[in-house]
Amino acid sequence: MQFFLFHLMPYADLDLSAPDKYDSAWVTLPNTYYDPKKGHQLYNRYLDELEMGDTLGFDGICVNEHHSNAYGMMPQPGVLAGSLARRTKNVKIALLGRALPLLNNPITVAEEFAILDNITGGRFIAGFVRGIGAEYFSWNVNPAFSHERFHEAHDLIVQAWTRPGPFAFEGKHYNFNYVNLWPRPYQTPHPPIWIPSQGSTETIEWASHPDRRYTYLQTFSPVTALAKYMAQYRDSAEKQGWQASPENLGWAVPCYVAETDEIAMREARPHAEAFYQKFLRMPTEMLLPPGYLSLKSMQGVMRAKAQMQSGDKSLEAVMKSGMFLCGSAKTVREQIVRYQQEIGFGKILTMLQFATLPHDLAVKNMEIFARDVMGEIRKMDVSPALAAAK
C-alpha cells in the first residue's frame, strides 16, 4: 500500500460563528474574515507540514484546488506545488486536482503540470476534477456544461502532452490552431492521472476505460460508499476487458492518531467537528447546482453524502461511518488494514491536519502515523483479500 499525505490548507483561524451566520463557509462567506497576517503564518506552516511528509517517508504529498472559501486556501494549487517541488527530494507531488471545466484555456494546466513534472524529474502526479458545485458559483462557469468541458479539456491536455506539435484542436468549447506544448512532460507518455471523486457512475466508467485506467480516488465518504464505488470500478474494468488492481484505487480520509484512543478522541474532537460542521457547511443548492450531476449520479451522491450534508456530524458519528479515522496507532492500523483487505484499495491519502487542528498536534499526528501506522503496515506487506481472490 502507498501512503500519501493530503492537505487542504484550511483557514484555521476562522471565526467559527461565521459559517453559521452566512449558512456557508464558501462563495458568500465574506473575505473580511480572512486576515492576511494570519494567512502568511498559515501558508508557511502548511508548507512545512507537507515538506515533513518527505522526511517522514510518505510516498507522496497532495494539494488541491478550491475557490472562495475557508475550507481550503489553494485556489491556485500550482503555486504551492511549485514551492514543494524544490523543497522536497523523494516524495511524489500529487496535484488533485485542477478543476478542468472552470478553465477557459486548459492549456494553462497542461503547461503548469508539465513544468512541475520537469522540475521534479517525474515526481509529479496529475489530478483532474470537475470541482465541487460551489466552484461554479465562484467562477461563474455554467454547471450544465461541466461534463462536456471536463472531457474536452482532458482530451486537449492529454493530446498536448502526447501528440507532436503543433497541431490543431477542434472542439465545442475549446479551439486552438496551434497546440505545441513547451515544455513536454518529463514522464512518458505523461504523468500518472488520478481522478478524485465523491462517487459517480459516469466518472467511474470513464476512468476505468481500458485506454485510460486512471487511478480512482474516493474522497471523504462513508466506508459503505467507498466499498460500493471501488467494487463498481473493478466491475466496470472487468466489463471493459481488463482487471483493475489495488493500484487503481485510492481512499482519501481525515485521520487522527494519538497515544491512546481516549487521547485521540479528546484532542481531535473540536477540530474534526469543526471540519464537518463548519468548514464543509454550504446549502445543497450551492453544492449541487443544476446540471452539475446527471440525475442518476445525483441520487447516488446524495445517498453517499447524506451524513455529510445533514444529520449527525459528531465525532462519534463520523468515526462510526468511517469518514474519520481516530484512535491509537493500533486502532487506526487495524481499521485501515481491515478496510483495505475488504475493499481492496492500494493507496491511502490521509489528511492529518484538518480545520482548526493546531501545528503541534498536526505534527504529533503525522509523526505517530508515519512511525506506528504507515511504518508498521509496510512491514506487514498486506495484500487485499478481495482483489487476490478474484
Partner 1 sequence: MSEPKTYFETVEGCRTCIMRGGAGAPLLFLHGANGAGRWLPFMAELAKGFDVIVPEHPGYGRSDTPAWLDTVGDLANFYLSFMKQLGLEKVTLVGTSMGGWIASEIAVRDPSRIEKLVLVAPAGLRVKGVPVSDIFLWTAEQTTRNLFHSAELAERMLAMPLSDAEVDISVKNRVTTARLAWSPRLYSADLEKWIHRIDLPTLILWGRQDALIPSAYADRFHELIRNSKVEMLDNCGHLPHAEKSAEFVAAIRQFAGEA
Minimum distance from residue 290 beta carbon to partner 1 (Å): 4
Q: Does 289 bind partner 1 (CB under 8 A)?
A: yes
- Stretch of 79-87, 237-245, 288-296, 364-372 contacting partner 1, by CB under 8 A: 288-296
| Interface pick for partner 1 out of 171, 283, 303, 337 (rule CB under 8 A) | 283
182, with CB counted inside 10 A (0-12, 13-18, 19+), is exposed
Measured between alpha carbons, how far is 378 from 162 in angstroms, rounded to an integer? 35
Q: Where are the beta strands (DSSP E) in 282-333?
A: 325-328
The sign of the dihedral angle between the CA atoms of 223, 227, 229, 230 is: positive
Nearer to partner 1, 32 or 140 (CB): 140
In this structure, the chain runs to a length of 390
Q: Does 295 bind partner 1 (CB under 8 A)?
A: yes
Minimum distance from residue 221 beta carbon to partner 1 (Å): 23
Q: Does 60 bind partner 1 (CB under 8 A)?
A: no
Q: Are 387 and 246 in contact (CB under 8 A)?
A: yes
Nearer to partner 1, 137 or 220 (CB): 137
What sections of 173-290 are H helices per DSSP? 201-207, 223-239, 261-274, 284-287
Minimum distance from residue 136 beta carbon to partner 1 (Å): 8
Give, as one character, the DSSP assignment of residue 333: H
Binding mask 144-183 for partner 1 (x = CB under 8 A): xx--------------------------------------
Nearer to partner 1, 141 or 348 (CB): 141
| Interface pick for partner 1 out of 31, 32, 140, 310 (rule CB under 8 A) | 140
27: left (phi over 0), alpha (psi -120 to 50) or beta: left
Q: Does 309 bind partner 1 (CB under 8 A)?
A: no
Taking residue 243's Cβ as centre, other Cβ atoms within 10 Å add up to: 10
Nearer to partner 1, 106 or 246 (CB): 106
Give, as one character, the DSSP assignment of residue 183: S
Binding mask 12-41 for partner 1 (x = CB under 8 A): ------------------------------
DSSP codes joined into one string, 69-134? BSS---SSHHHHHHHHHHH-SSSEEEEEEEEGGG-S-THHHHHHHHHHHHHTTS-EEEEEE---HH
Q: Does 290 bind partner 1 (CB under 8 A)?
A: yes
Minimum distance from residue 285 beta carbon to partner 1 (Å): 5
Minimum distance from residue 21 beta carbon to partner 1 (Å): 16
Nearer to partner 1, 151 or 269 (CB): 151
Measured between alpha carbons, how far is 166 from 157 in angstroms, rounded to an integer? 13
| Interface pick for partner 1 out of 15, 48, 285, 376 (rule CB under 8 A) | 285
CA 386 and chain centroid, separation: 24
Minimum distance from residue 133 beta carbon to partner 1 (Å): 10
Compute how many residues bind partner 1; rule: CB under 8 A.
Answer: 16
Q: Give the footprint of partner 1 on this chain (CB under 8 A).
A: 136-137, 140-145, 283-286, 289-291, 295
